[in-house]
Structure 1
C-alpha cells in the first residue's frame, strides 16, 4: 500500500486491525474442523486457546470501529449529521455489496466442499428468503442460518453505525444550544452504560446493536478524549466517563470481552492518534497492507478455509503434521484471497460509491454548512 508523504497515519489502528484479522482467521480455523481436530495433538494448547479465546479479537474491531466512526461522523463531538438517511444508506451500500459478493463465494465453497466431506460447517443450499435476509443484513434478526462465519459482525457493524448516526442526528435536532459539545459524549456515555449494565448481560440481545454498543461507544469516547486540542480537564472527564462505568459493570459481572474492549479503548486514548515514526519501513508497509485488506480477509477467509479443509479431508492423510500444514495453507490462502478481493471487489465498489457521493454537490454543500455551524 502506497502512503503519500505528509499523510497522517494512525499506525496503532492499522496494527490492531491487522492483528485482529489474523486472530479471527486462526480462530475459525481452530473452531471449524476437521483439520484442527487432526492437528490438535501437535499443538493442543494453541488450538484450544484459539478455539476458546480467539473470537475476543472481535472486540478490537468493535472499539476501533467506534473510534473511527467518531472520527468520521463527529470529530469534535458536535452533532453534525444533517441527513441521517443518506449517511446510513451510504454505509449500507459500502458494507452490503462486498458482503454479498463474499456470500456468493461462500455458497460456491459450500457446494464444492459438500462433494468432498460431510461436516457441520458446510451450509445447506440457500433459499431465496435466506439470501434476501443476508442482502438486507437481517439474517440473524430474522432467524436464518448464516451462510458464512462472521456474517453476524457485518450486520452488527451496520446497526451500530446506523444507531450512532441517529444518535448524533437526534442530538443536533433536539439538543438546543449547539455549542454545548458535551451533549454528544454524555449521550454516548449513557448509551454505553445501558449496554454494559443491561443489554450486554442478556444474550437474547446479541443480534442487536445495543448488545455491542458498550464496546463501540468506548471507542467513540476514546477518540474525543484523545483530541490534543481538548483541555486537560475535559479530557480527564471524558476518560472518567469511559473507564469508571466500565469498571463498575465489570465488578457487577465480569466479562472478558468487555475487559478487552476497555483495554483497547485506553490504548487508543493514549496512542491512537500518534503518527508513525517511519511509515515507509518494510515492517510498517506490511502492517499497513494487512490492515488495508483486513475487511476483505474477514469476508472471504471462511469459504477459503472451508475448501482447504475439505480438500485435506478428502485427499490428504489424517496425520497431524500434514493437517497442521493444511491449516497454514488455509491461513496464507485466506490472506491471498483477501488481497485479491480487496483489489478486484472492495476497491472498485468503494470508488463507485465515492463517485456517486461526489456527484451530489447540493447534499455536500448542505453538510459542509451544517459542519461549519458548529465550529
Structure 2
C-alpha cells in the first residue's frame, strides 16, 4: 500500500479515531463502575480478576484521548507544523467554551444525581455536598490547581485538555515568531517539551495537575500527525522511528505503562494516516456512534452510576448475582444518559463561541440591523 497519506474530503469523519474514542470511553466507564460504588464489591466476589483489572488498569484509556487530542489539535491548528491562525487567543477561547459549557451542565446534573444517591445510600464514593466556590472553580477549570475537591470523577481531564491545547497553541505561536512559514521552529519546540515531559515532568506525580505532566502523550499525538501527513519529507519514517526510540529510552529510565500505551496509539495513528485507514476503517456504525457520544458518556457516567448503585443498594437483594446485574444496568444507563446529553446538550452548546462562516455572519449582521463562545 502506498505510503502517501490518503486525502479525505473536508469534514469527513475518521472512523479509526471514532473507534479509539469509543473503546476508550467504554473502558473509562467500566473503570468507574469497578472502582466506585458498593455494587463492584459484590461483583468482585464473582470475578475478582476482571474487577481488579478494570479498577486498576482500565483508567489508562485516558492515554488514548490524550494522544488523539494532540493528533487532532495539530491537524486543525498547524497541519504543516506552522500556526495558521492570526488570533490564537480567540481559538483558545473557543476551545474553552466548547468543553466548559457542556461540563457546567453535566456538573449541575451530577450534583442532582449525587443528592438522589445520597438519599438512598451512604457510601464513601459519594462526593461531599457542593459549595458555590467548588462549582465556580470547576466551571473555570481551575479546581485541581487550587486543590478543590472534585464534584465528579474524571472532571480533571477536561481542565487538562484545555491546558494542553493552550500549551500547544503557545508553542506554535512562539515557533511562528521565531521562524519563517513552514520552518521547523514550532515542531522542534513541541519535541523539546515532549522530551521534557517524558524524561522529567511525567516521572513526578507532583506535576499531575499541570499540562507538562501529560504533554508527553499529547505531543506524541501531534508529532504522529506531522510525520504522517502527505507532504511530510522523505525522512518522515526515520523521524517516526526516532520518536519511538526516544520514548523507549524514557521508558528504560523509568517504565510507565501509560507512556508505552501512548506511544502505541501514536504509532497506530501515524500508520493509519499514511495508509489511509484513518478515514476508511473500521466500517462500524456502532463504534462510530459511540465515538461521537464519548464526551457525553465521559461527563455523565459517574453520577449516573452512583444513582444506579444507590437504587440497587436500597432496593435490590444483597446477592452477588443481583448486584452484578446492577453493574450491567449502570453500564447501559451511562451510555443512554451520554446519548441523551450528546443530542440534547452537547451538540447545541457546541455551536456557542464558534466563529460563523462569512455568509452566516453577513445574514446575521443584516438581520440585527433590521431588528435593532
User: Do they fold alike, i.e. is TM over 0.5?
Assistant: yes
CA contact (8 A) 2:107 2:151 kept: yes
CA change 1:360–1:213 in 2 (3 A) is farther
**Is residue 80–residue 169 contact of structure 1 (8 Å, CA) maintained in 2?**
no
Equivalent-residue separation in structure 1 for 2:40 and 2:94 (angstroms): 39
Equivalent residue, structure 2, for 1:288: 288
Indicate if the aligned counterparts of 1:64 and 1:219 stay in contact, CA closer than 8 A.
Answer: yes
> Residues 8 and 238 (structure 1 numbering): CA distance in 2 closer, same or farther, change over 3 Å?
farther
Distance 1:176 1:101 in 2: 42
Shift in CA distance, 192/276, structure 1 to aligned 2, threshold 3 Å: closer
Q: Is the 8 Å Cα contact of residues 16 and 280 (structure 2) preserved in structure 1?
A: no
Cα shift readout 1:277-329 (whole Å, capped 9, x = no counterpart)? 477x6xx1111110000011000111110100011111111211111110100
1:143-164: CA deviation from partner (whole Å, max 9, x where unpaired): 1000000000000001001111
Deviations 1:209-228 (A, max 9, x none): 00000000000000011112
**Structure 2 unpaired stretches of 5+:** 1-7, 363-373
Contact 1:62 1:215 in 2 (8 A): yes
Q: Give the Cα–Cα distance (whole angstroms) in 2 for the partners of residues 319 and 20 of structure 1.
A: 30
Asked if the contact 2:17–2:278 (Cα under 8 Å) also holds between the matched residues in 1, the reply is no
Distance verdict in 2 for CA 1:11–1:325, change over 3 Å: same
The CA distance in 1 between the partners of 2:226 and 2:108, in whole Å, is: 39
Give the corresponding residue for 2:264: 263
Q: Structure 1's 152 and 144: CA in aligned 2 closer, same or farther, altered over 3 A? A: same
- 1:347 paired residue number: 347
8 Å Cα contact 2:38/2:313 also seen in 1: yes
How do residues 55-204 of structure 1 correspond to structure 2 at under 5 angstroms? 55-173=59-177, 175-180=178-183, 182-204=184-206
Question: Counterpart of 1:318 in 2: which secondary structure?
Answer: coil
Contact persistence 1:221–1:238 (CA under 8 A):
no
Would you say the 8 A contact 2:174–2:186 is kept in 1? no
Q: Determine the C-alpha separation between the residues in 2 that align with 1:79 and 1:353.
A: 20
Correspondence for 1:210: 212
Could you tell me how far apart the structure 1 residues matched to 2:79 and 2:70 are? 12
Q: 2:176 touches 2:185 (CA, 8 Å); kept in 1?
A: no
State the match for 1:303 in structure 2.
303
For 1:38 and 1:84, the matched residues in 2 are separated by 51
Q: How many residues align?
A: 352
- Correspondence for 1:222: 224
SS of the residue corresponding to residue 170 of structure 1 reads helix
Aligned CA distance change for structure 1 residues 265 and 45 (closer, same or farther; 3 Å): same
Note closer, same or farther for the CA distance 1:164–1:6 as it changes in structure 2 (3 Å cut).
closer
- The superposition leaves residues 122-175 of structure 1 with CA deviations (integer Å, 9 ceiling, x where unpaired) of 1112111111100110011011000000000000001001111111111112x1
- CA–CA separation in structure 1 for the residues paired with 2:180 and 2:303: 51
RMSD: 1.9
Cα distance in 2 for partners of 1:354, 1:88 equals 11
Contact 2:80 2:182 in 1 (8 A): no
What's the offset of the Cα at 1:355?
A: 6.0
Q: 2:57 aligns with which of 47, 53, 58?
A: 53
TM-score, normalised via structure 2 length? 0.90
1:185 deviates by 1.7
Do the aligned residues in 1 keep the contact of 2:74 with 2:81 (CA within 8 Å)? yes
Shift of the 111–353 alpha-carbon distance from structure 1 to 2, 3 Å rule, reads same
Does the CA-based 8 Å contact 2:30-2:58 persist in structure 1? yes
